[in-house]
Structure 1
């Protein structure tokens, strides 16, 4: 390869890399996408090619717990990343309490407030059983809605009454005021909600782990005192977050661009220590200047052998606070930015789905949407 051709290729590669960096300055943000076609430039071919997409697209998992995962999607545009985020929040189906039939409620919480609290309790159950459930047709102005059956409605119950414990009245007269010592069922928790299977539900939601129950059994529903009672029945149906937030499978689903920190001039000695304190712990590391660096002319480390120098250790931990740009000695030595096609996702599941499964389900939902759109376009062309 000729030297000029090699230099041209290297320059083009660096130019392409620079385009991916969104500049973070002290008071401005530069190099943001403003065209109708992000990352495309005049005189270049950016036609869609599945092989190029496969080569450039990567998924990296950083954390994968059942209810909390963090992963990176690398090599896609912001509209696609945002489509996944919106689908995660509002278009993946879950089961939640929709109808509450109150038989008796003598607690201090009004019926409608109690029903709202119950509806927001995240539920879980056998995943295959949840997929087996069908949609319940809600009543509208023109129709009465569907009929509850075992395949579209799950019934839960709550029957709790507060009573005195044996000998508690005498303890109360002596000054005892701890409700856990004096009363039975002084607090009503989500663990006291019972599953009432009908039809095939006993097989679809096998006991003990597969039954429909609260994700967190310690959620406080109400507080009772002797003579007060709650007796009610709850109907759970499938829904999506676009219908109501209680159906959203995630507590949070967010993404951010990967921070980019470029130290363009050496930062050594006391300045390096000060520089590292401008970032969260773990972003900047202090390493000793080697003898080779100190002896190399033009390196910027001449005479600093053994002194600490600032190097970027883990930019993912950075919050892009721009603190370092507040100090005049660092303004010409560092460039801050974000990589425009590296999206760090954080997904926190409410418990009905595992966090990594949620992303795969969002891919499936987006695929179905694309197939419907493609079918609609084909029908338009035929007409």
Structure 2
């Protein structure tokens, strides 16, 4: 009897399940059962490239006498994960003016005094400015006219946000300053998506694998069972006592299988078969910190739903 590869809404509603096996603040692992590989891959691509997040886009440099070039310093700043919920902010277009709804402003002002040891500048040194700029910063054209402007907000972001903003990890090294060196700058973080630049990707990684299935073609007993158990590097197999001194190998932890194929090497190759379950995927999401992983998956489902609605609308 062949495998049923037909697709129908009734079959999907009957078989689809999501089972969470691990959930922490930074990552989650869950099973998606009853879907096609194309759907699993759609979620992966949306998570990486189409979920918005906040990241540093513009840097207004006042002073940088460190050994790190401006371009390298700016690149490092852009990749720092921000502890800011993108759902509270709007996208900023070219003609928009920075305000409390589309821009987050941070200041970095550190210096190493002469005669002091080297100073490590970390991401925790970034200071959130809820009311916009405090430094008089100017564009090149304005500098020629000796005019200075401020990026001030009409009202403080404290009034519209649930919690203070900052960086997700405070121990990321940005630079090291020698005696007499200093960095003074202001950065503007805006909303964007990973398909524009990787700094806006909300996940460190999002990946999936088919659920492994280990099948015995015939029972493996005695010494052969002991050898099979010792051969597996991830302890997929275990020993079952049958009584009267007899033992046999059983598949105790199929989820741990990495398909390294050690079990099908040597004398056991005719007794063990490795397969993959076609409609069962083990999905892993590692968040960079802007949103918890379960919220990222919920947002990915919402985006895929909007895409489907748009297609249906165009067809009708």
TM-score, structure 2 normalization: 0.88
In the alignment, structure 1 residue 366 sits paired with structure 2 residue 304: yes
1:197 shift after superposition: 1.1
Tell me the equivalent position of 1:211: 164
Aligned counterparts of 1:63 and 1:354: Cα–Cα separation in 2? 13
User: What RMSD in Å do the two structures reach over aligned CA positions?
Assistant: 1.6
Tell me the equivalent position of 1:223: 176
Tell me the equivalent position of 1:314: 253
Tell me the equivalent position of 1:186: 119
Higher Rg of the two aligned structures: 1
The 4+ residue runs of structure 1 with deviation greater than 3 A are: none
* Unmatched segments (≥5 aa) in structure 2: 132-154
Aligned counterparts of 1:64 and 1:249: Cα–Cα separation in 2? 17
Aligned counterparts of 2:189 and 2:300: Cα–Cα separation in 1? 23
TM-score, structure 1 normalization: 0.73
Q: Secondary structure at the match of 1:157?
A: strand
Aligned counterparts of 1:373 and 1:66: Cα–Cα separation in 2? 35
Q: Which aligned pairs between 1:69-218 and structure 2 lie closer than 5 A? A: 69-125=28-84, 127=85, 130-138=86-94, 145-163=95-113, 182-183=116-117, 186-198=119-131, 199-206=155-162, 210-218=163-171
Larger displacement relative to structure 2 (152-161 or 197-206): 197-206
Aligned counterparts of 2:203 and 2:23: Cα–Cα separation in 1? 15
Aligned counterparts of 2:124 and 2:234: Cα–Cα separation in 1? 40
Tell me the equivalent position of 1:271: 224
Give the number of aligned pairs.
293
Q: Deviations over 1:97-140 (max 9, x none)?
A: 00111000010111111000000001113x3xx312110114xx
1:274 shift after superposition: 1.3
Aligned counterparts of 1:131 and 1:331: Cα–Cα separation in 2? 53
Q: Which aligned pairs between 1:228-377 and structure 2 lie closer than 5 A? A: 228-290=181-243, 305-327=244-266, 329-377=267-315
Q: Deviations over 1:146-180 (max 9, x none)?
A: 2212211111110001125xxxx5xxxxxxxxxxx
Aligned counterparts of 1:258 and 1:349: Cα–Cα separation in 2? 23
Aligned counterparts of 1:281 and 1:81: Cα–Cα separation in 2? 26
Q: Secondary structure at the match of 1:197?
A: coil
Q: Judge conservation of contact 1:68–1:355 (CA < 8 Å) in 2.
A: yes
Q: Judge conservation of contact 1:280–1:319 (CA < 8 Å) in 2.
A: no
1:55 shift after superposition: 1.7
Aligned counterparts of 1:337 and 1:116: Cα–Cα separation in 2? 44
Aligned counterparts of 1:137 and 1:256: Cα–Cα separation in 2? 38
Tell me the equivalent position of 1:48: 8
Aligned counterparts of 2:191 and 2:56: Cα–Cα separation in 1? 9
Aligned counterparts of 1:261 and 1:322: Cα–Cα separation in 2? 10
Aligned counterparts of 2:235 and 2:24: Cα–Cα separation in 1? 22
Q: Secondary structure at the match of 2:220?
A: coil
* Unmatched segments (≥5 aa) in structure 1: 1-14, 20-38, 41-45, 139-144, 170-181, 291-304, 379-383
Q: Secondary structure at the match of 2:260?
A: coil
Q: Judge conservation of contact 1:257–1:339 (CA < 8 Å) in 2.
A: yes
